[in-house]
Amino acid sequence: MIIDNPLTLIGNTPLYRLKDLNIFLKLEKFNLGGSIKDRAALGMIEDAENKGLLREDSIIIEPTSGNTGIGLALIGRIKGYKVVIVMPETMSQERRTLIEAYGAELILTEGSEGMKGAIKKARLMAESDDRYYMPDQFSNEANWLQHYNTTSLEIIRDIPDIEVFVSGVGTGGSFTGISKRLKEYNKDIICVAAEPSASPVLSGGKAGPHKIQGMGPGFVTDIFKYEYTDHIIQIDYEDAERETLEFSAQTGIIIGLSSGANIWASKLMSERLGNNKKIVTIAPDGGEKYLSMGIYK
């Protein structure tokens, strides 16, 4: 395969069938920047371009737990935009390094304030200079639309008889976009949202600190839609870590913690629903960005 545009390397990721299970894992680490957030980043930037919201001197600024920042940084570099990423200091060192490697400026906020602190800082900066453009992945419709128009169609193409979709929720972009399309394709498909048990806000619980990066921002975002949600399941960190390590050991494919959380959520739903239903879930990124956290030691 010969390419002349690196952006063509975003999308069309493979599905891996878990051993002895009817569960299929969509491996988003094979996107250009190594995560599912490359899709949202591309969708939001192209949407802003189409609407005339980006100028030559525009500076893209975004609060993110890491992967969206990586996606925006690499796409910004390809398209020639300056990028500023605001991120809680608790995120992994690898994510920070990658963002800077792609040429973006990185601003860290107090870890105890979580994503809310990063969002507050980014918004204050965006208001201070009209050159700043903030995509705002937590409310940007282009986020979920990118998954509605790409990720969901890939799933339907590869697993046309899908019965259950399971996904952890961060911004809600992938869950909303994929679930909406799947419900339109077949109203009987069951869509399950997963969240950290330590921060069960989708279930009406209290936000709290947790260690599953990329899931559970601590609030219900504007683009998460309960109307496409049949079940909400809570995942303990220990289960996510165990599944992450077991999958990587068995397959040689290193995945991140949110991937392990989705695998465990899928196994739980398989047991609850019975009848060996065909389940598709997401591996949002690879584990290479978490090596400094000691998960794989």
Pick the closest to residue 75 from 31, 108, 118 (CA basis).
31
Q: Are 284 and 68 in contact, with CB atoms under 8 Å apart?
A: no
What lies within 8 Å, CB to CB, of 274 at 6+ separation is none
Rounded CA-CA distance 178/174 in Å is 6
Q: Count CA within 13 A, CB hemisphere, residue 124.
A: 9
What lies within 8 Å, CB to CB, of 143 at 6+ separation is 40, 43, 44, 135, 137, 171, 173, 177, 223
Annotation marks residue 258 as catalytic: yes
Q: Annotated catalytic residue: which of 258, 259, 266, 270?
A: 258
What lies within 8 Å, CB to CB, of 269 at 6+ separation is 164, 166, 190, 192, 231, 233, 279
Q: Annotated catalytic residue: which of 37, 121, 183, 267?
A: 37
Annotation marks residue 37 as catalytic: yes
Q: Are 30 and 13 in contact, with CB atoms under 8 Å apart?
A: yes
**Which residues are identified as catalytic?**
37, 258
